[in-house]
Chains A and B, each alone.
Chain A
Amino acid sequence: MKDFIIPDRDFGTPAAKSKQMVTLTIDGFDITVPEGTSIMRAAAEIGISVPKLCATDSIDAFGSCRLCLVEIEGRNGTPASCTTPVAPGIKVHTQNAKLKQLRRGVMELYISDHPLDCLTCSANGDCELQDMAGAVGLRDVRYEAIDTHFKVKDTSGIANPNYIPRDDSNPYFSYDPQKCIVCSRCVRACEEVQGTFALTIEGRGFDSRVSFGAKTDTALSSDCVSCGACVQACPTATLQEKSIIEIGTPERSVITTCAYCGVGCSFKAEMRGDELVRMVPYKHGKANRGHSCVKGRFAYGYASHKDRILNPMIRDSINDPWQEVSWDEAMDFTAKRMKGIIEKHGRHSVGVITSSRCTNEEAYLVQKLTRAVFMNNNTDTCARVCHSPTGYGLGQTLGTSAGTQDFDSVEETDVVMIIGANPAAAHPVFASRLKKRLRQGAKLIVVDPRRTEMVESPHVKAEHHLALTPGTNVAIVTALAHVIVTEGLFDAQFIQDRCDWDEFQDYAEFVSQSQNSPESVALLTGVPAAEVRAAARLYAKGGNGSIYYGLGVTEHSQGSTTVIGIANLAMMTGNIGRPGVGVNPLRGQNNVQGSCDMGSFPHELPGYRHVKGEGVRDIFEKAWGVKIDDEPGLRIPNMLDAAVEGTFKGLYCQGEDILQSDPDTKHVAAGLAAMDCVIVHDLFLNETANYAHVFLPGSTFLEKDGTFTNAERRINMVRKVMAPRNGYGDWEITQMLANAMLKDTGGAKWTYTHPTQIMDEIAMTTPSFAGVSYEKIETMGSIQWPCNDKAPEGTPLMHVDGFVRGKGKFINTEYVATDEKTGPRFPLLLTTGRILSQYNVGAQTRRTGNVAWHSEDLLEIHPHDAEVRGVKEGDFVRLASRSGDTTLRATITDKVNPGVVYTTFHHPDTQANVITTDFSDWATNCPEYKVTAVQVSPSNGPSEWQEEYNAQAAMSRRIAAAE
């Protein structure tokens, strides 16, 4: 009869974890389940769905609706099957005359206070109340309720005080209280799954209502972070996606992967025709386990935004308006220009930037373009500006450039140290999983200049917050090591077994020096020594210790050194190689891990193998039929330097906006302006495109097949759910460009017809991917690399029996103060970060309803610093560094210490990177975003640079009208 997509089976209550098994009989069938399983879940496992309303398997059972009653032979009464655990040998009946009657009674009560407008209800066909009325055989409601929650007025025309109108304040879902059955699934989902505690049940009995905190709070003004967990949990139309209300129910669903952050959540893209109806987190996604955040769940509207460019465009000079052309013309024009440059300035005068937002296959092709067609190694990726120090630091110490754990590992951790990261904003689903563990009793240490949401939020409080002065990470990490070594808290057995003992001796001697003690560095870091000592003891001796870190570690002059220091801490305490421990970089963009794996860096071929290695070059020379350059290529900052100097002239930039995301905007602009051919391949005319000669319209993750690799090295499928609006997947566009370049050079053409062939080529050439294929990902759901003969099913945990590099290597971490110092002209330290609802440079999220939460970047300043400058809440202020100045609004908060100011960088108008400087990590040139000496002063409007910039941008974005 109805052919609606079957939702993922709901087992009613979460799976039990016990190893002890219990056998019982349900309706005459034997079933064996882990101890602690509910009768409801046991029944579901043999295919018997006991009617239920208040239970769902993402949250603990509550037992309030009394619909799931069963009878157990030899026991009195009719217990609720959702709250009653199984017991050996019991005989359960889920259906008999008595139960039927009881259930009808329950349903009757519910229905008497529920509007009967099922036909026009937005949840029609997707409503559990409706389903249950059907399941229990409810045929009539014998009495009419006098007091209801749904009647706007009573029979005499007086307004019903119990009627609450619909709350549409959230851009993505609505709350319609008249349909609420007060099952509290939403409240429990917000607490247990999301950990925000935004919802409560107010009142008792008939008066109980779901509420977004205080009476006056709407969904939007409350603490709600719009993760959608409550919407998923709600059995009725009360909490529902607005897209369902507008479009109707979907008819099919496709599993795919979120294209926002490095958590890499799996989603079901629910479709009607080629219209995306909604994105629902996929229960069996191993990174997210059925949870999501506002970005992946709701912020996909950019894909159909009117600003999206759908036709290729070219122009001779960046002062001309854009000219829309056909794909053929665009390719001819581009190939001719690039070939011209190579002829005149040599093959090293051009290069590429791969995207961390595109698929692995696409990144692979872009680096192949420069290596096999341009014939140089000038390839880099946005990871340069975020996690390149992770690659270097973990590579040197442990032997592999990636996190050591899977996200599930957090469920077994006892002490978590978060350094320079704010997962609640940047990796929300991971943060929810972490908070869940913290509520179970795990301890938390936060090392961050700012009091982030992780330091204190409902039911989570960090044991220690080391609020260090920006730029002193190495000093703190080394001081932690000092305490662990001098107080004998290290794991000598582990070090002897797994690391080089002599190197550890050297290291121990180094960190034991008195200048590395917490007392000595306290002046520098601003952190009381006793706090550092207590944190070190807790991490070393508190059970399974895990470290999660983010850009607050890497984006410093000594970013690589801090990463090394973090690896040292984990090794010396034996916190590596089992669940619950490890060193975990929290990656920014969805495919940062993947783009690095795919050889996007100028010194290494796919799989992190240096181009100087003859054996490695040989593999690719055979596969590609070309000679590969054995010298490292230019990194992004080096490309820009070479451009300014006049030796770098052409750039193909896929899916990145370096003008907005890279430091020292003026220098980036100068570099781009000096080039003869800048090709921007993106969804929108981004900031970099202001300096481009060719614009190639890109496709979204909904419009192509491929894979993303998340922060746990998990390779997830991205599936095409609709045809590319721009005509081609990005991999096809790179291939067209390659072939246009290869035309009449006699080089072999590229002939990929599907991304699966690209993955096969990656597997063939790259040992850690040797066992990866689309087929295998299809069957397994996802794979964590390395995946090869040694680990055919992939590798959830790294370094289990030994380090990838052999022995773990301790490396000294001498603190070198950054040259970015405060002084009389620039007395404050600026540090930067992200917020939840926006993503990176914001090109996508700014074009969605997410602007409801964050419409501009704000400067956080301590009340003391604000007062001496005469700055009040909401004032425009001028923010100046030695690089430049900009204006934005200030917000006054003690989340930052005196002397420190903080802002985000999601909006191009702010131009926060005009302020950031040219200092960078010593090993990788990762820019020092996290420390800039600045001054703040009252201002009355945009800076001169902002005005000039906006004028140039407006000129440059003109598109000539088609003749």
Chain B
Amino acid sequence: MSLNDTHAGPHAKLIYMANQIAKFMESKPHDEGLTLLASHINDFWEPRMRRHLFEVLDAGGAGLRPLVLEASAAIKRPVVAA
């Protein structure tokens, strides 16, 4: 597998990255982990990346760890398409 595979589109890599963050946050008390996961993505992910993440979420969130799905309500949906 290569996450940089041009043909695979942007989603595989972002799913991977979101899950990586989730794995760190999973070792925290649940609510804290949830809040921090959302704020981490809000703070560090450029709107384009969040838009792609929402494309995955809107399509059912396949491949994302439960904590990401749960935190998604607190992740900011980018306002304008970049």
Are chains A and B native binding partners rather than an unrelated pairing? yes
Complex partner residue of B46 from A346, A631, A883, A919, CB under 8 angstroms: A631
A348 touches B4 (CB 8 A): no
In the complex, whether A118 has a CB less than 8 A from a CB of chain B is: no
Which of chain A's residues has its CB closest to B82's CB? A348
In the complex, whether A757 has a CB less than 8 A from a CB of chain B is: no
Q: Among A9-17, A632-640, A825-833, which stretch is in contact with chain B?
A: A632-640
Which of chain A's residues has its CB closest to B22's CB? A922
| Known contacts A641-B10, A647-B82, A918-B2, A603 near B24 by CB under 8 Å | no
B28 touches A812 (CB 8 A): yes
Kindly list chain A residues whose C-beta atoms are within 8 Å of the C-beta of B42: 612
A883 touches B2 (CB 8 A): yes
| Known contacts A644-B6, A667-B4, A918-B4, A923 near B24 by CB under 8 Å | yes
Complex partner residue of B24 from A561, A633, A882, A925, CB under 8 angstroms: A561
User: How far is A922 from B49 in the complex, measured between Cα atoms in Å?
Assistant: 15
B82 touches A346 (CB 8 A): yes
User: How far is A506 from B82 in the complex, measured between Cα atoms in Å?
Assistant: 42
A882 touches B2 (CB 8 A): yes
Complex partner residue of A631 from B1, B40, B47, CB under 8 angstroms: B47
Kindly list chain B residues whose C-beta atoms are within 8 Å of the C-beta of A610: 43
Closest chain-B Cβ to A506's Cβ sits at a distance in Å of 8
User: How far is A667 from B2 in the complex, measured between Cα atoms in Å?
Assistant: 10
Number of interface residues of A (CB under 8 A): 44
Which of chain B's residues has its CB closest to A667's CB? B4
User: How far is A492 from B68 in the complex, measured between Cα atoms in Å?
Assistant: 36
Closest chain-B Cβ to A891's Cβ sits at a distance in Å of 30
A632 touches B46 (CB 8 A): yes
B24 touches A632 (CB 8 A): no
B46 touches A645 (CB 8 A): no
Kindly list chain B residues whose C-beta atoms are within 8 Å of the C-beta of A346: 82
Which of chain B's residues has its CB closest to A396's CB? B36
Q: Count chain B CB atoms within 10 A of each CB in A348, A631, A632, A638 and give the residue with the most.
A: A631
In A117-158, which residues have CB < 8 Å from any B CB? none
Kindly list chain B residues whose C-beta atoms are within 8 Å of the C-beta of A644: 4, 6
Closest chain-A Cβ to B68's Cβ sits at a distance in Å of 12
Kindly list chain B residues whose C-beta atoms are within 8 Å of the C-beta of A925: 17
In the complex, whether B21 has a CB less than 8 A from a CB of chain A is: yes
Q: Is the interface of A mostly helix, strand, loop or mixed?
A: loop
Kindly list chain A residues whose C-beta atoms are within 8 Å of the C-beta of B30: none
A632 touches B26 (CB 8 A): no
B43 touches A612 (CB 8 A): yes
Q: Mark A484-514, 1 if CB is under 8 A from B, else 0.
A: 0000000000000000000000100010000
A922 touches B27 (CB 8 A): no
User: How far is A561 from B20 in the complex, measured between Cα atoms in Å?
Assistant: 12
Kindly list chain B residues whose C-beta atoms are within 8 Å of the C-beta of A813: 27
Kindly list chain B residues whose C-beta atoms are within 8 Å of the C-beta of A510: 27
Which of chain B's residues has its CB closest to A648's CB? B48
Q: Mark A620-646, 1 if CB is under 8 A from B, else 0.
A: 000000000001111100100110110
Q: Count chain A CB atoms within 10 A of each CB in B4, B40, B82 and give the residue with the most.
A: B4
CB-based A-B contact count at 8 angstroms = 80
Closest chain-B Cβ to A382's Cβ sits at a distance in Å of 18
A816 touches B23 (CB 8 A): yes
In A793-848, which residues have CB < 8 Å from any B CB? 811-814, 816
A633 touches B46 (CB 8 A): yes
B13 touches A918 (CB 8 A): yes
Kindly list chain B residues whose C-beta atoms are within 8 Å of the C-beta of A923: 21, 24, 40, 44
A641 touches B13 (CB 8 A): yes
Q: Mark A864-891, 1 if CB is under 8 A from B, else 0.
A: 0000000000000000001100000000
Q: Mark B10-22, 1 if CB is under 8 A from A, else 0.
A: 1001000100110
Which of chain A's residues has its CB closest to B33's CB? A812
In the complex, whether A557 has a CB less than 8 A from a CB of chain B is: yes
Closest chain-A Cβ to B1's Cβ sits at a distance in Å of 8
Which of chain B's residues has its CB closest to A601's CB? B44
In the complex, whether B3 has a CB less than 8 A from a CB of chain A is: yes
Which of chain B's residues has its CB closest to A641's CB? B10
User: How far is A145 from B41 in the complex, measured between Cα atoms in Å?
Assistant: 81
Kindly list chain A residues whose C-beta atoms are within 8 Å of the C-beta of B29: 506
Kindly list chain A residues whose C-beta atoms are within 8 Å of the C-beta of B4: 641, 644, 664, 666-667, 918
B26 touches A814 (CB 8 A): yes
User: How far is A346 from B80 in the complex, measured between Cα atoms in Å?
Assistant: 12
B21 touches A632 (CB 8 A): no
Complex partner residue of B17 from A647, A812, A922, CB under 8 angstroms: A922
Closest chain-B Cβ to A389's Cβ sits at a distance in Å of 12
Kindly list chain B residues whose C-beta atoms are within 8 Å of the C-beta of A348: 46-48, 82
Q: Mark A330-356, 1 if CB is under 8 A from B, else 0.
A: 000000000000000010100000000
Which of chain A's residues has its CB closest to B24's CB? A922
User: How far is A638 from B29 in the complex, measured between Cα atoms in Å?
Assistant: 30
User: How far is A610 from B40 in the complex, measured between Cα atoms in Å?
Assistant: 12
User: How far is A560 from B36 in the complex, measured between Cα atoms in Å?
Assistant: 15
In the complex, whether A670 has a CB less than 8 A from a CB of chain B is: yes
User: How far is A510 from B29 in the complex, measured between Cα atoms in Å?
Assistant: 11
B24 touches A814 (CB 8 A): yes
In A293-335, which residues have CB < 8 Å from any B CB? none
Q: A919-B3, A923-B21 are in contact. List 9 more A-B contacts (CB 8 A).
A: A346-B82, A632-B46, A645-B9, A647-B82, A812-B28, A816-B24, A882-B1, A883-B2, A918-B4
B-contacting residues of A (Cβ < 8 Å)? 346, 348, 377-378, 506, 510, 557-558, 560-561, 602-603, 610, 612, 631-635, 638, 641-642, 644-645, 647, 664, 666-667, 670, 811-814, 816, 882-883, 917-920, 922-925
Enumerate 10 A-B pairs (CB-CB under 8 Å) in ascending A order: A348-B46, A348-B82, A812-B27, A812-B28, A814-B24, A814-B26, A882-B1, A917-B2, A918-B13, A919-B3
Sort A-B residue pairs by CB-CB distance and give the 10 closest, nearest first: A814-B27, A922-B20, A667-B4, A812-B27, A918-B3, A348-B82, A918-B4, A634-B46, A816-B23, A922-B21
